[in-house]
Structure 1
Amino acid sequence: MNSPHLWWYITRASAIVAWALMTLSVVWGTLLSTRVLRKVDNPSWLQDLHRYLGGTAIVMVVIHMVTLMLDGWLHFSVANVLVPFSSDYRALPVAIGILGFYLLVAVQGSSLLMRWLPRRFWKAIHYSSYLIVVLVSFHAGLTGTDVTALWYRIVAISIIGLSVVAVLVRVLAGTKATTSRGSASVRSVPDTTVSDTTVRSGDGLATGSAALPLVLDRTTMRVAATFRVSDEVLGLRLVPTTTDLLPVWHPGAHITLALPNGLERQYSLCGDPADRSHFDIAVLQTQPSLGGSSWIHANARPGLELEVTAPLNRFELEPAYSYTFIAGGIGITPIKAMIESLPQRRDWHLVYVGRSRKSMAFADELVARYPGRVLVHASDENVAALNFEKFLQTVQTDVYCCGPEALMVRIAAAVPRERLHLERFQPVERAAIGGPQPVMVSCRKSKKNFDVPAGQSILEALEQNGLPVLGSCRKGVCGTCDVRVVSGLPDHLDSVVDDEEKDRVGIMYPCVSRATTPDLVLDL
């Protein structure tokens, strides 16, 4: 460990590895955002690899900086590796490298905090990844001692070449999306269509992503086309009224529509996430309607403008070797999006039940596209109901289910919790022990304190006291109104995610949940 050359060798190696990892992270991020790899494997696995590449790059840069200080020839100090222009050794190239390091930390940090950051701010930071590669390339070329070596030139050309390819893919994908946006209104039928009913959310038994507070941007979108998915389902294609690309989304995500009649409703997204020029949804005409689906079926026409939130996902597809999908009625819509996101080699099977084949959206299409993988069970064609309990005894896969509550209860009773993922249309009946109790709510940031009587929801009290929290379903299923809890114990009465998961990340849904303690402090 005392060899005068040891630290110099580690410095050179860590620098090259960090440079390569930064470039691969940028390239991988580009492939993810353009969905070039959508047929390769599960989106969650791809995103995990993207994060690992960026995180490992930071680790290698830190090693590079530490070994520079340990090297006996350069005699770098802590200030020399952290403060631009404090080094006498090639001050400008070193300063460029330091700036690239700080940008890398900002990008990686914004990825960890993206759930709390405004999307435009997060995107602005994230796009600086391309600048990082440029800065590091200049830093490497102007400070490296091996720049004249053949192996170094090969590595440098390869890395820079990958960077150029990433930029070209990003530009070409953006141009293609912009072009398709202009022609979206003339396409009457989407590649795949979406969801339905009045409320959508991940269930408390889901084992997907942690529920963290999100900043949901709103934007105005225009109905470009409407189309019939079935006798009771109307499809809508929504395009942005600006030239911006729509946010990245993954199967299972939903958006919230603010309707002109004052209601807000959630509908799942479907289709190809790579095409960010439009959102496709489909709306089931519920009977009786609470006012959302009936208004859309009666009034949705091309040219209608609606306020739409950014996609939110409480029912995300998690990596697994094999899947069993169970859909009831209109619950097929998020399931269909998941199926179409899987690579061809992935093992999966679908059980699809409904009243009649005529009312079952996509039934014939799915059977034709995936022979041997899809079982359709229509009640008007079969006297006996499916015995899910017996069927699931032999299933050892991850199970994803969406449909009526009666179906969800049966599946939840037959599948171990660690393998079960549900999305409910309606909340599970939950009540506070001893009935609703008054609670004193304190808001740490705004310094406001107020009593919430037993007959009023905490969400209503927040709105009444000038602290508007975005709420939509107000039933505890959509996950829109999440707030961070500073102190006090929430009494979780929602059906969004598991109670232990909410406590772990420190959030609650104030539309229905209350508190088991007299006081509750919120980060508002």
Structure 2
Amino acid sequence: MTDPQLWWYVARASGLVAWAAMTGSVLWGVLLATRVLRSIDNPAWLQDLHRWLGGTALIMAGLHMLSLMLDGWTHFSLTEIFVPLAAAYRPWPVALGIVAFYLLAAVYGSSLLRPKMPRRLWKALHYGSYISVILVSFHAGWSGSDVGAWGYRLVAFILLGLTTVAVLVRVLTSTAATPLPPPPQAAPAQPMTVTATYPLTREVLGIDLSRQGGTELPVWTPGAHLTLQLPNGLVRCYSLCGDPADRSRYRIAVHLAAPSRGGSAWLHANAVPGKILDVSGPDNHFMLEPAEDYLFVAGGIGITPIKAMIEALPAHRRWRLVYIGRSRATMAFSRELKQRWPQHVSVYARDETGVRPDLARILDGTTAAVYCCGPASMTEELATLVPAPRLHIERFTPAPQQPYPPRRAFEVTCRRSNTHVHVSEHQSLLDALERAQLPVHSSCREGICGACQVGVIAGQPQHLDSVASEEDKDRAGVIYPCVSRSHTTSLTLDL
């Protein structure tokens, strides 16, 4: 500690580490913002790494400033360290470093306060990270005493090059990045064999499906669903609730609805080992997004996608589950979940409590990302209690729609096929496209599953679905033609 050169080395080393960590944090933030890494099962740890790099940069910058105060040659005072232009030594380059430090502190602080901040303010502050890296670059180049060393120059060129690439990527993808990326081209339904069935409760049947020949199945992520085309002509979607790492089978759970519209009753009566069903998917419109803290709310059979999400979380992630149902005897996986995570899982059976739990009280004070799957009464109540940016819903039935003027006819131009389609006031856009020999992959035909997503090139869609918010759909430039129509007299679709 008495070596006069020690703090000189500490100042330089900590400054370079802070610069490198800051650049790495910006690069990782770009990857997250552009959703390049969205397909990973549970990308929350990526956000942790982004935040860890930012925190490391802040700590190293603080150490750099402290070492400059302790260095016998520079011997900065507290005022010179924290007040721009107060330093006698190269005041302007030093001032750039001080401003960069304050920007970095503001960006990192906004990350910690993100759940309590308006999204626009948080986003505006985060753009300060680019400015901070640029200021640090000039600060290092103008105030350092060893900028002529080849090692320093090499590090500087690498970090400046990476920062330039990050800025260019962010600019080029800022309009393309969207919370609703177009789904991949839908694969045709393929025959799959029922390999096992087993009762999960007296009303819920577990069904395992495998490819004929035993070949590996496509990868799926928590929240995904299969679409079953049943022999009785019905098409039904069921969430996957097995292990994504098991590529030999898909596992679903089917609740026997009362009264059944025909899908669940047919499966309960006819799905036996050896039965062959036409299956498409998996598709996912209920993805698990990165978050520090999760609150899962499941109603009845809505536990199926939630279970897969919970099992995909790393051990250190903060989460809790509120599982609501008529009775434990009808609530699939309730015993298993309670035994595995007793501190995280709360089961509310109405035959025990007499009433449904008070969701407003449960949500009071929480800043967690809320994921809900269940009946309409539950999802609509949550929609009034949780801010839209933190709420993620998968519905059993379409959300209630506000009154709209009477339906009217409109024209559709399909750009890629150069086809014009007339949609009368008495038919859906999906029906009109199918009649014009432009089939669109669809499933529920109720505006719930999102399978029929189509890109919009021109015109203003009238969104009548329950897949996502109107703002997200307009930003993504998509329409769900099974129920949605057009505000304008014409639409141009990417078909």
TM-score normalised by L of structure 1: 0.60
Correspondence for 1:324:
295
Offset, 1:330: 1.0
Q: Distance in 2 between matches of 1:277 and 1:48?
A: 32
Correspondence for 1:222:
193
Opposite residue 223 of structure 1, the aligned amino acid is V
* Contact 2:298–2:322 under 8 Å retained in 1: yes
Correspondence for 1:378:
349
1:212 to 182, 192, 209: 182
Offset, 1:354: 0.8
Deviations 1:353-374 (A, max 9, x none): 1111111111111111112211
* Contact 2:428–2:482 under 8 Å retained in 1: yes
1:348 to 299, 319, 344: 319
Q: Distance in 2 between matches of 1:318 and 1:367?
A: 24
Tell me: higher relative CO, structure 1 or 2? Use CA pairs within 8 A at least 6 residues apart: 1
1:292 aligns with 2:239: no
Offset, 1:432: 6.5
Correspondence for 1:449:
420
> What SS does the aligned partner of 2:433 have?
helix
Q: Distance in 2 between matches of 1:324 and 1:406?
A: 18
Q: Distance in 2 between matches of 1:375 and 1:281?
A: 23
1:390 to 361, 364, 376: 361
Count of aligned positions: 332
> What SS does the aligned partner of 1:381 have?
helix
* Contact 2:326–2:349 under 8 Å retained in 1: yes
Q: Distance in 2 between matches of 1:289 and 1:370?
A: 33
Correspondence for 2:338:
367
RMSD (CA atoms):
2.4
Correspondence for 1:419:
390
> What SS does the aligned partner of 2:274 have?
coil
> What SS does the aligned partner of 1:380 have?
helix
* Contact 1:284–1:330 under 8 Å retained in 2: yes
> What SS does the aligned partner of 2:475 have?
helix
Q: Distance in 1 between matches of 2:410 and 2:353?
A: 52
Offset, 1:339: 0.8
* Contact 2:241–2:253 under 8 Å retained in 1: no
Offset, 1:394: 2.1
Deviations 1:66-104 (A, max 9, x none): xxxxxxxxxxxxxxxxxxxxxxxxxxxxxxxxxxxxxxx
Offset, 1:244: 3.4
Task: State the identity %.
Answer: 52
Deviations 1:270-310 (A, max 9, x none): 22111111100011111111111111111111111111112
Q: Distance in 2 between matches of 1:242 and 1:504?
A: 43
Correspondence for 1:512:
483
> What SS does the aligned partner of 2:193 have?
strand
Q: Distance in 2 between matches of 1:242 and 1:298?
A: 25
Q: Distance in 2 between matches of 1:256 and 1:447?
A: 30
Counterparts of 1:73-84 in structure 2 under 5 Å? none
Correspondence for 2:273:
302
Runs of 4+ in 1 over 6 A off after TM superposition: none
1:436 to 404, 407, 415: 407
> What SS does the aligned partner of 1:262 have?
coil
Higher-Rg structure is 2
> What SS does the aligned partner of 2:219 have?
coil
Change (3 A) 1:271 1:209: farther
Q: Distance in 1 between matches of 2:427 and 2:48?
A: 42
Deviations 1:359-401 (A, max 9, x none): 1111111111112211111111113431111221121211111
Q: Distance in 2 between matches of 1:261 and 1:242?
A: 25
* Contact 1:323–1:400 under 8 Å retained in 2: yes
* Contact 1:211–1:502 under 8 Å retained in 2: no
Q: Distance in 2 between matches of 1:484 and 1:242?
A: 36
2:209 to 219, 235, 238: 238
TM-score normalised by L of structure 2: 0.64
Q: Distance in 1 between matches of 2:46 and 2:185?
A: 24
Counterparts of 1:88-127 in structure 2 under 5 Å? none
Opposite residue 306 of structure 1, the aligned amino acid is L
Change (3 A) 1:236 1:209: farther
Q: Distance in 1 between matches of 2:46 and 2:200?
A: 32
Deviations 1:305-354 (A, max 9, x none): 11111211111111111111111111111111111111111111111111
> What SS does the aligned partner of 1:283 have?
strand
Q: Distance in 1 between matches of 2:259 and 2:420?
A: 40
* Contact 2:44–2:291 under 8 Å retained in 1: no
Opposite residue 292 of structure 2, the aligned amino acid is Y
2:472 to 495, 498, 501: 501
* Contact 2:398–2:465 under 8 Å retained in 1: yes
Deviates more, 1:507-516 or 1:414-423: 414-423
